[in-house]
Amino acid sequence: MQFTTATLLALLGVVSAQKVHVVSVGSTNGSLIFSPENIKADVGDLLQFQFRAGNHSVVQSNFDNPCSPISEHTNQTGIFSGYQPVAASQAAGTIPTYTVRVTAANPLWFYCSQGRHCQNGMVLVVNENTAANATRSLANFKQIASQQTANTAPLSPIGGSAGNGTVDNGSGSGSGSGSGSGSPTSSAPADSTSTGSPATSTSAIPVAGASLVSFSSSAGLVGLVAALFML
Protein backbone atom coordinates (compact mmCIF):
# COMPACT_ATOMS: atom_id res chain seq x y z
CA MET A 1 0.00 0.00 0.00
CA GLN A 2 1.39 3.40 -0.99
CA PHE A 3 0.87 6.68 0.85
CA THR A 4 1.85 9.99 -0.65
CA THR A 5 3.78 12.64 1.23
CA ALA A 6 0.67 14.82 1.11
CA THR A 7 -1.40 12.09 2.80
CA LEU A 8 1.15 11.68 5.58
CA LEU A 9 1.37 15.42 6.13
CA ALA A 10 -2.42 15.61 6.33
CA LEU A 11 -2.47 12.90 9.01
CA LEU A 12 0.25 14.65 10.97
CA GLY A 13 -1.74 17.88 10.68
CA VAL A 14 -4.64 16.19 12.46
CA VAL A 15 -2.28 15.28 15.30
CA SER A 16 -0.89 18.78 15.72
CA ALA A 17 -4.34 20.40 15.66
CA GLN A 18 -5.79 18.23 18.41
CA LYS A 19 -5.51 19.44 22.01
CA VAL A 20 -5.87 17.42 25.17
CA HIS A 21 -7.30 19.42 28.08
CA VAL A 22 -6.36 17.69 31.34
CA VAL A 23 -8.86 18.04 34.17
CA SER A 24 -7.91 16.92 37.67
CA VAL A 25 -10.86 15.34 39.49
CA GLY A 26 -10.56 15.85 43.23
CA SER A 27 -7.29 16.72 44.94
CA THR A 28 -4.90 15.20 47.42
CA ASN A 29 -5.93 17.77 50.05
CA GLY A 30 -9.53 16.58 49.89
CA SER A 31 -10.98 19.53 47.97
CA LEU A 32 -14.16 18.76 46.03
CA ILE A 33 -13.15 20.30 42.73
CA PHE A 34 -12.60 19.86 39.04
CA SER A 35 -9.43 21.74 38.13
CA PRO A 36 -9.80 23.67 35.94
CA GLU A 37 -13.57 23.99 36.23
CA ASN A 38 -14.14 26.33 33.28
CA ILE A 39 -12.62 25.22 29.97
CA LYS A 40 -12.60 26.58 26.44
CA ALA A 41 -12.25 23.73 23.93
CA ASP A 42 -12.32 23.59 20.17
CA VAL A 43 -14.23 20.99 18.20
CA GLY A 44 -12.05 17.89 18.01
CA ASP A 45 -10.27 18.56 21.31
CA LEU A 46 -10.16 15.93 24.04
CA LEU A 47 -11.04 16.39 27.70
CA GLN A 48 -9.04 13.96 29.81
CA PHE A 49 -10.36 13.60 33.34
CA GLN A 50 -7.61 12.39 35.68
CA PHE A 51 -8.90 11.13 39.03
CA ARG A 52 -6.47 12.31 41.70
CA ALA A 53 -7.98 11.42 45.06
CA GLY A 54 -11.09 10.06 46.74
CA ASN A 55 -13.82 8.25 44.81
CA HIS A 56 -15.43 10.61 42.30
CA SER A 57 -17.33 10.49 39.02
CA VAL A 58 -18.03 12.64 35.96
CA VAL A 59 -21.66 12.88 34.81
CA GLN A 60 -23.15 15.11 32.13
CA SER A 61 -26.16 17.26 32.99
CA ASN A 62 -27.74 20.32 31.45
CA PHE A 63 -27.70 23.83 32.89
CA ASP A 64 -31.25 23.80 34.25
CA ASN A 65 -30.91 20.45 36.03
CA PRO A 66 -27.53 20.13 37.74
CA CYS A 67 -26.87 17.06 39.90
CA SER A 68 -29.06 15.00 37.55
CA PRO A 69 -28.12 13.11 34.36
CA ILE A 70 -28.94 14.86 31.11
CA SER A 71 -30.79 11.73 29.97
CA GLU A 72 -33.46 12.43 32.59
CA HIS A 73 -34.40 15.74 30.97
CA THR A 74 -33.51 15.48 27.27
CA ASN A 75 -33.19 12.86 24.54
CA GLN A 76 -29.40 12.81 24.99
CA THR A 77 -27.71 9.84 26.65
CA GLY A 78 -24.89 11.90 28.12
CA ILE A 79 -21.80 10.45 29.78
CA PHE A 80 -21.02 8.78 33.09
CA SER A 81 -17.47 7.76 33.99
CA GLY A 82 -18.53 5.45 36.79
CA TYR A 83 -17.00 5.87 40.25
CA GLN A 84 -13.21 5.84 40.16
CA PRO A 85 -11.56 4.53 43.37
CA VAL A 86 -8.20 6.25 43.21
CA ALA A 87 -6.53 4.32 46.04
CA ALA A 88 -7.15 1.00 44.31
CA SER A 89 -5.65 2.38 41.09
CA GLN A 90 -2.62 3.82 42.85
CA ALA A 91 -1.94 0.40 44.33
CA ALA A 92 -1.82 -0.90 40.75
CA GLY A 93 0.45 1.96 39.68
CA THR A 94 -2.14 3.74 37.51
CA ILE A 95 -4.18 6.92 37.46
CA PRO A 96 -7.83 6.43 36.42
CA THR A 97 -8.66 8.53 33.36
CA TYR A 98 -11.80 9.17 31.35
CA THR A 99 -11.63 10.99 28.01
CA VAL A 100 -14.32 12.90 26.13
CA ARG A 101 -14.02 14.20 22.58
CA VAL A 102 -15.62 17.60 21.95
CA THR A 103 -17.60 17.63 18.71
CA ALA A 104 -19.49 20.96 18.98
CA ALA A 105 -18.84 24.36 20.48
CA ASN A 106 -21.97 24.74 22.62
CA PRO A 107 -21.71 24.63 26.45
CA LEU A 108 -21.35 21.23 28.14
CA TRP A 109 -22.11 20.84 31.86
CA PHE A 110 -20.74 18.15 34.18
CA TYR A 111 -20.83 17.24 37.88
CA CYS A 112 -19.67 14.64 40.38
CA SER A 113 -22.50 12.37 41.56
CA GLN A 114 -20.75 11.22 44.74
CA GLY A 115 -22.58 12.11 47.99
CA ARG A 116 -23.42 15.82 47.91
CA HIS A 117 -20.35 16.80 45.92
CA CYS A 118 -22.45 18.44 43.21
CA GLN A 119 -24.34 20.57 45.74
CA ASN A 120 -20.99 21.52 47.28
CA GLY A 121 -19.73 22.95 44.00
CA MET A 122 -17.97 20.04 42.27
CA VAL A 123 -19.14 20.99 38.79
CA LEU A 124 -17.56 21.90 35.47
CA VAL A 125 -18.46 23.77 32.29
CA VAL A 126 -16.91 23.44 28.86
CA ASN A 127 -17.41 26.39 26.52
CA GLU A 128 -19.38 28.65 28.84
CA ASN A 129 -21.10 31.28 26.68
CA THR A 130 -22.24 34.21 28.81
CA ALA A 131 -22.07 36.44 25.74
CA ALA A 132 -25.12 34.60 24.39
CA ASN A 133 -26.88 34.40 27.78
CA ALA A 134 -25.35 36.12 30.80
CA THR A 135 -27.41 34.04 33.26
CA ARG A 136 -25.96 30.73 32.06
CA SER A 137 -22.68 31.08 33.89
CA LEU A 138 -20.68 28.64 35.95
CA ALA A 139 -21.43 30.73 39.06
CA ASN A 140 -25.18 30.46 38.46
CA PHE A 141 -24.87 26.74 37.70
CA LYS A 142 -23.21 26.26 41.08
CA GLN A 143 -25.96 28.27 42.75
CA ILE A 144 -28.69 26.10 41.20
CA ALA A 145 -26.73 22.97 42.13
CA SER A 146 -26.49 24.04 45.77
CA GLN A 147 -30.30 24.03 45.98
CA GLN A 148 -30.83 20.49 44.67
CA THR A 149 -32.27 17.96 47.10
CA ALA A 150 -30.67 14.92 45.44
CA ASN A 151 -27.47 14.05 43.61
CA THR A 152 -28.11 11.25 41.13
CA ALA A 153 -26.25 9.12 38.61
CA PRO A 154 -27.05 6.60 35.87
CA LEU A 155 -27.05 2.94 36.81
CA SER A 156 -23.77 2.11 35.07
CA PRO A 157 -20.88 3.72 33.18
CA ILE A 158 -21.99 5.05 29.80
CA GLY A 159 -20.08 5.14 26.57
CA GLY A 160 -21.96 7.16 24.00
CA SER A 161 -23.07 10.63 23.11
CA ALA A 162 -21.99 13.31 25.53
CA GLY A 163 -24.52 15.74 24.18
CA ASN A 164 -21.99 16.81 21.61
CA GLY A 165 -19.10 14.57 22.46
CA THR A 166 -18.02 10.95 22.29
CA VAL A 167 -16.33 8.92 24.98
CA ASP A 168 -13.14 6.88 25.13
CA ASN A 169 -11.77 4.88 28.04
CA GLY A 170 -8.33 6.15 28.97
CA SER A 171 -5.49 4.06 30.32
CA GLY A 172 -6.31 2.93 33.83
CA SER A 173 -9.95 3.97 33.56
CA GLY A 174 -12.89 2.45 35.34
CA SER A 175 -14.76 -0.60 34.09
CA GLY A 176 -16.15 -0.76 30.54
CA SER A 177 -19.11 0.67 28.75
CA GLY A 178 -22.78 0.13 29.37
CA SER A 179 -26.10 1.75 28.77
CA GLY A 180 -27.43 3.46 31.85
CA SER A 181 -31.14 3.71 32.34
CA GLY A 182 -32.90 5.57 35.08
CA SER A 183 -31.23 7.81 37.58
CA PRO A 184 -31.29 6.46 41.12
CA THR A 185 -30.14 8.51 44.07
CA SER A 186 -26.39 8.06 44.28
CA SER A 187 -25.37 5.03 46.32
CA ALA A 188 -21.69 5.27 45.45
CA PRO A 189 -18.94 3.92 47.65
CA ALA A 190 -17.92 6.58 50.16
CA ASP A 191 -14.82 8.62 49.45
CA SER A 192 -12.84 6.69 52.02
CA THR A 193 -13.49 3.30 50.39
CA SER A 194 -11.68 1.77 47.45
CA THR A 195 -13.75 -0.77 45.59
CA GLY A 196 -13.74 -2.07 42.05
CA SER A 197 -10.98 -3.13 39.71
CA PRO A 198 -9.75 -0.39 37.38
CA ALA A 199 -9.04 -1.53 33.84
CA THR A 200 -5.50 -1.20 32.56
CA SER A 201 -6.06 -1.16 28.81
CA THR A 202 -6.84 1.68 26.45
CA SER A 203 -9.84 1.19 24.20
CA ALA A 204 -12.36 3.20 22.25
CA ILE A 205 -16.08 2.74 22.71
CA PRO A 206 -17.92 2.54 19.37
CA VAL A 207 -20.58 5.20 18.99
CA ALA A 208 -23.23 5.43 16.29
CA GLY A 209 -22.13 7.99 13.75
CA ALA A 210 -18.65 8.30 15.28
CA SER A 211 -15.28 6.84 14.43
CA LEU A 212 -14.74 3.40 15.94
CA VAL A 213 -11.19 4.23 16.93
CA SER A 214 -9.86 7.57 18.13
CA PHE A 215 -6.46 8.57 19.45
CA SER A 216 -5.99 10.37 22.75
CA SER A 217 -2.39 11.33 22.10
CA SER A 218 -0.21 12.49 19.26
CA ALA A 219 2.08 9.50 19.76
CA GLY A 220 -0.72 7.08 18.89
CA LEU A 221 -1.42 8.63 15.52
CA VAL A 222 2.25 9.24 14.74
CA GLY A 223 2.85 5.54 15.35
CA LEU A 224 0.04 4.65 12.98
CA VAL A 225 1.42 6.97 10.31
CA ALA A 226 4.84 5.38 10.68
CA ALA A 227 3.35 1.91 10.39
CA LEU A 228 1.43 2.82 7.26
CA PHE A 229 4.56 4.33 5.73
CA MET A 230 6.32 1.00 6.15
CA LEU A 231 3.66 -0.90 4.16
Contact 86, 219 (CB under 8 A): no
* pLDDT 10s digits, 137-152: 999 999 999 999 999 9
Q: Please report, in angstroms and rounded to a whole number, the separation of the first and last CA atoms in the chain.
A: 6
Query: What is the CATH architecture assignment of 20-215?
Result: Sandwich (2.60)
Weakest-pLDDT range from 3-17, 160-174, 200-214: 200-214
- Tell me which of 162 and 52 has the higher pLDDT: 52
As separate numbers, helices (DSSP H) first and strands (DSSP E) second, the chain gives: 4, 12
Residue 2 confidence (pLDDT): 53
CA dist 97 and 146 (Å) reads 27
Residue 70 confidence (pLDDT): 94
pTM over 0.85: no
* Mean pLDDT to the nearest integer, 173-194: 36
CA dist 163 and 198 (Å) reads 26
- Tell me which of 75 and 224 has the higher pLDDT: 75
* pLDDT 10s digits, 69-114: 999 999 888 899 999 988 877 778 888 999 999 888 999 999 999 9
Residue 182 confidence (pLDDT): 33
Residue 6 confidence (pLDDT): 53
Contact 152, 69 (CB under 8 A): yes
Every domain of the chain and the residues it spans? 20-215
Q: Would you place residue 157 in the very low, low, confident or very high pLDDT band (cuts 50, 70, 90)?
A: confident
- Tell me which of 38 and 6 has the higher pLDDT: 38
Mean pLDDT of the chain: 72
Weakest-pLDDT range from 25-29, 56-60, 208-212: 208-212
Contact 207, 160 (CB under 8 A): yes
Amino acid at the residue 118: C
Q: How many other CB atoms sit within 10 Å of the CB of residue 177?
A: 18
CA dist 103 and 166 (Å) reads 8
Residue 159 confidence (pLDDT): 58
